[in-house]
Amino acid sequence: MAGVPTVLVIAYYFPPLGGAGVQRTLKFVKYLPDYGWLPHVLTVQDSASLQDSSLAAEIPAEIPITRTPILRLPPRLPWRLRNFISRWFLIVDEQLGWLPYAVSAGQRIIAESGDIQAIYSSSSPYTAHLIARHLHRRTQLPWVADFRDPWVENPYIKFPTSLHRGTNEHLEQSIFKEAERVILNTDVSRQCYIQKYSDLPASKFITIPNGYDQADLPLSRYEVQIDSVFTIAHLGSLYQKTRSSEYFLRALHDTFQAGKLLPDKVRARFIGAIDKETKDFIRQFELSGCVELVGYLPHRQALNYLFEADLLLLIPSYGKGGELFVPAKLFEYLASMKPILCLAEPGACADLILQARAGWVISPTVYSVIADQLVGIYQQWEAGNLIINPDRDLIASFERRKLTGQLANLLTEICK
């Protein structure tokens, strides 16, 4: 499509890879042509990560995609050894071996296209921004860096030494300084970085939240019978150290032990990658009869489970720094108009649920509070009164096509 303004999109996570990290870039790529921008995607060749081949059907046929090799650590290495090598020697992230291949391919794309007017990079991995920085320096093309998660301020990234942290600080600072705009996906995160880089103009920091794609949602809404089993659904991965199912499962067990809920009237479904600890807790609390581990599913199949549920369970990351994060799946939770039980501390995630009037936010680690809330919600459901009055206008503002319009306007602005 010669003559159409083109943006070079640098993203490691892109179909056929699956998982939450793919959705944001995929939807931008899907809808940018509606706003007069053609994306040219620079990504990696297929890897052993989660796959969702169904997502490829969403990519418009006219979108060029360049897939490069990547120098990887041997996949058979034990996780602890891989993590050690990555943290101590690769310094930035395990995908650093993508940089030379992607830089070479990016330079070739820009030279041969003639229509590339801007660069967009998405992290994690943060290597994507280093690739974009190199291409920006070589070409002086305007550049937008999109942080799906914080980098140095990310509480779940542990630097082995002060030298490692300092190196990452320096790299992060250079990206914030050199990019024309930096996108954060929550206002809380934006304010954090405005304070951290107070020498930079606040106008450089832009919030574009995650969202939901109306086209992904089931066409019909499920009607659940009152005399059926009360169904709770959780979408997404679970991790013992940062996003644990322990407190919810223990609370569910306590309600059964106290006779406040009956195991044959409650079903909890976990859809996504499940950690070993969750499986251990299910055995420990004797919940195998009412807890289903569905596993990872293609995106739209997973959404069907969401719409079939009576209650949506959200367990976001908690602990220091957790207040910066809003799980991407929350926006699809909101779009379902189903009640949400969120186990979260105060922060961006809790604020959004309360603003949207979408459910309840309670302490993530106090079993008795979780148990009492479960009983109360169940009683409302049993009486036919489990109803919320969500802010539909607020929720509609998170539709992916609308959010892509914000990115398109930003690209147009920096190219003037």
Residues 6+ apart with CB under 8 A from 83: none
Candidates 29, 12, 126, 16; CA nearest to 69 is 12
Identify whether the C-beta of residue 40 lies closer than 8 Å to the C-beta of residue 59. no
Same domain, 166 and 270: no
Residues 225 and 337 in one domain: yes
On the CB side of 188, CA atoms within 13 Å amount to: 17
Mean pLDDT of 107-121: 94
> Looking at the structure, do residues 259 and 177 belong to the same domain, yes or no?
no
Give the neighbor-by-neighbor strand order of the sheet with 266-271. Answer: 291-295, 266-271, 230-235, 311-314, 340-343, 359-362
Using alpha carbons, list the distances in angstroms from residue 286 to 92, 98, 252, 290. Answer: 42, 45, 10, 9
In a domain, 64, yes or no: yes
- Do 127 and 263 lie in one domain? The reply is no
Residue 308 backbone dihedrals phi, psi, to 5 degrees: -80, -15
On average, the pLDDT of the chain sits at: 90
The CA-based angle 401-407-412, given to 5 degrees, is 125
Per-residue pLDDT reduced to its tens digit, 273-325: 888 888 888 898 889 889 999 988 888 888 889 999 999 999 887 767 677 78
Residues 220, 128, single domain; the answer is no
Residue 254 lies in a domain: yes
Q: Smallest Cα–Cα separation from 303: which of 282, 331, 277? A: 331
- Put the strands of the sheet holding 143-147 in their side by side order: 65-68, 38-44, 6-10, 116-123, 143-147, 181-184, 205-207
Query: Whose structure tokens read 């291409």?
Result: 135
In this predicted structure, what is the pLDDT of residue 224?
A: 47
- Based on the domain organization, do 83 and 147 belong to the same domain? yes
Residue 102 lies in a domain: yes
DSSP 208: -
Same domain as 225, residue 201: no
Q: How far apart are CA 231 and CA 335, in angstroms?
A: 18
**Domain tally, the chain:** 2
pLDDT reading at 100 higher than 90: yes
> Could you tell me how many residues make up the chain?
416
- Same domain membership, residue 164 and residue 31: yes
Q: How confident is the model at residue 227, as a pLDDT? A: 55
Both tokens assigned to 203: 């106008």
Domain containing 139 equals 6-211+399-414
Which residues is 66 bridged to in the sheet? 42
How much is the pTM?
0.89
287 contact partners, CB below 8 Å, separation of at least 6? 249, 252, 253, 263, 268, 281
22 in a structural domain: yes
Q: Are residues 294 and 194 in the same domain?
A: no
Q: Is residue 57 part of a domain?
A: yes
Asked if the structure places residue 168 within a domain, the reply is: yes
Whichever domain contains 274, its CATH number is 3.40.50.2000
Q: What percent of the chain has pLDDT over 90?
A: 63
Confidence label for 401 from pLDDT (cuts 50, 70 and 90): very high
- Closest by Cα among 76, 58, 72, 61 to 14: 58
What distance in Å separates the CA atoms of residue 365 and residue 345, rounded to the nearest whole number?
Answer: 9
191: in domain: yes
CA distance 218 to 411: 32
| Residue-wise pLDDT tens digits, 119-136 | 999 999 999 999 999 999
132 and 44 in a common domain: yes
Indicate whether 271 and 144 sit together in one domain: no
The predicted-structure confidence for 241-274, as pLDDT tens digits, reads as follows 667 888 899 999 999 999 999 999 999 999 988 8
Contacts of 328 (CB under 8 A, 6+ apart): 20, 23, 24, 148, 210
Q: Is residue 1 part of a domain?
A: no
Measured CA to CA, the distance from residue 373 to residue 344 in angstroms comes to: 14
Residue 403 shares a structural domain with residue 387:
no
Least reliable range by pLDDT among 31-35, 75-79, 282-286 = 75-79
